[in-house]
Amino acid sequence: MRPPGIALLVALVGFSPGLAGPLDYSPPPGLPPIPWPVNNPYSPARAELGKILFFDGRLSANDVVSCAFCHDPGHAFAGSGAFSVGVDGKHELRRTPTLINRAWGKSQFWDGRALTLEAQIVGPITNPDEMGMTTEGVARKVSAIKGYGPLFAAAFGDSGVTFDRIAKAIATFERTIVSGNSAYDRYRAGDKSALTKQQKDGLDFFEKKGECAECHSGPDFSNEEFANIGVGTDRPNPDPGREDVTHKRSDTGRFKVPTLRDLASRAPYMHDGSAKTLSDVLQIYAKGGLPNPHLDTRLAPFYLDKETERDLLAFLDSLNGEGWQNIKPPATFPQ
């Protein structure tokens, strides 16, 4: 048994003004201010509590599967395998996406079925293949851990533990998982020497001939919409993607346009992890996407010579930024 004083100390560290990293809520250059929801305002204590909950395996039925179990902090908070594995080692259908810059996301999940980070959290916690709990069950389990009391008090005013508060704290922490100040951001801010000639050529192809920016646009390189580029449509039972949410035939095989930041830290790619390298991804686009009845009409084949491939890969490399790397797992957990 650790003394409860340690938990209190963890909460107090959250108020230390000089501490960089997850507790610093101003994002790195290149990103807009974080849009904190009115009903869940930022506080260092709330972000710190959220971080501890995010890493705490006791939020799951088998005491092992924390959020970080799948969203690996060393892998830009994405999964490192094609499919994620939860309690009982069961397999999921989709790859675990990165959590960087989700603060600006208009919807969550590959099919956009949750609108906010707060609403998203009920998904993994109650999914029998992921953390396998109920919302009441997880609140009861956390409130039985005495060391959490002071942390909830610091974050919410009193030590009461509810699922709503758990979700709010974790969502606050998630909004601090950011990536910015990449070479590309510095280039956009006016430092013309931030990109090499090869990277500038890649950017030019990305925006013009490749038409990548039709979908990968904005500060996070996603228009936050859904598109069908054909990935996985050649499987026996293809993932319906966005159609599951809207029940529209035209949404078959559409997935959320993912961010292109920090790709180097989070292979494999695509909703099913089927592209192992970025060269594999470029091959898909050079073919104009994978043929299927609902293929996006904005995709067209192009000739990918070695030089263009090198330029594009160099440009994508310029999107590797900083922020999330400063987040370290909690040294101790409340007891």
Residue closer to ligand HEC (CB basis): 110 or 184: 110
| Sequence-separated (6 or more) residues with CB below 8 Å from residue 17 | none
Of the pair 276, 328, the CB lying nearest ligand HEC is at: 276
CB of 45 or CB of 257, closer to ligand HEC: 257
Cα separation of 27 and 40, whole Å?
A: 18
Contact with ligand HEC (CB under 6 A) among 210, 321, 323, 334: 210
Residue 110 engages ligand HEC in binding (rule: CB under 6 A): yes
**Which member of 27, 73, 86, 334 binds ligand HEC (CB under 6 A)?**
86
Residues between 299 and 318 with contacts to ligand HEC, criterion CB under 6 A: 299, 312
- Binding residues among 270-299 for ligand HEC as defined by CB under 6 A: 270-271, 278, 281, 285, 296, 298-299
Which of 22, 97, 149, 180 contacts ligand HEC by CB under 6 A?
97
Structure tokens at 137: 């069950």
* Cβ atoms 323, 76 nearer than 8 A: no
Q: Which is nearer to ligand HEC, 45 or 319 (CB)?
A: 319
Q: Examine residue 108 and tell whether it contacts ligand HEC (CB under 6 A).
A: yes
CB 148, CB 160: distance < 8 Å: no
Structure tokens at 228: 């069908």
Does position 30 bind ligand HEC by CB under 6 A? no
How many whole angstroms separate alpha carbon 239 and alpha carbon 208?
A: 31
Identity of the residue, 7 or 103, whose beta carbon is nearer to ligand HEC in the bound complex: 103
Contact pick of 7, 257, 313, 327 for ligand HEC (by CB under 6 A): 257
Exposed/middle/buried for residue 153 (C-beta within 10 Å: 0-12, 13-18, 19+):
middle
| Nearest to 46, CA basis, from 209, 175, 231, 203 | 175
Of these, 255, 261, 327, 334, which contacts ligand HEC (CB under 6 A)?
255
The residue to which tokens 């090869």 are assigned:
198
Judged on CB neighbours under 10 Å (0-12, 13-18, 19+), 247 is: exposed
The 10 Å Cβ neighbour count of residue 273 is 21
Taking the complex as a whole, the smallest distance from the CB of residue 111 to ligand HEC amounts, in Å, to: 6
Closest CA to 120 of 103, 95, 140: 103
Segment lying near ligand HEC (by CB under 6 A), choices 5-13, 95-103, 153-161, 179-187:
95-103
Alpha-carbon distance of 209 to 165, in angstroms, equals 48
Residues in contact with ligand HEC by the rule CB under 6 A: 65, 67, 69-71, 84, 86, 92, 94, 96-97, 99, 102, 108-111, 117, 120-121, 124-125, 130-131, 170, 210-212, 214-216, 227, 229, 231, 255, 257-258, 260, 263, 269-271, 278, 281, 285, 296, 298-299, 312
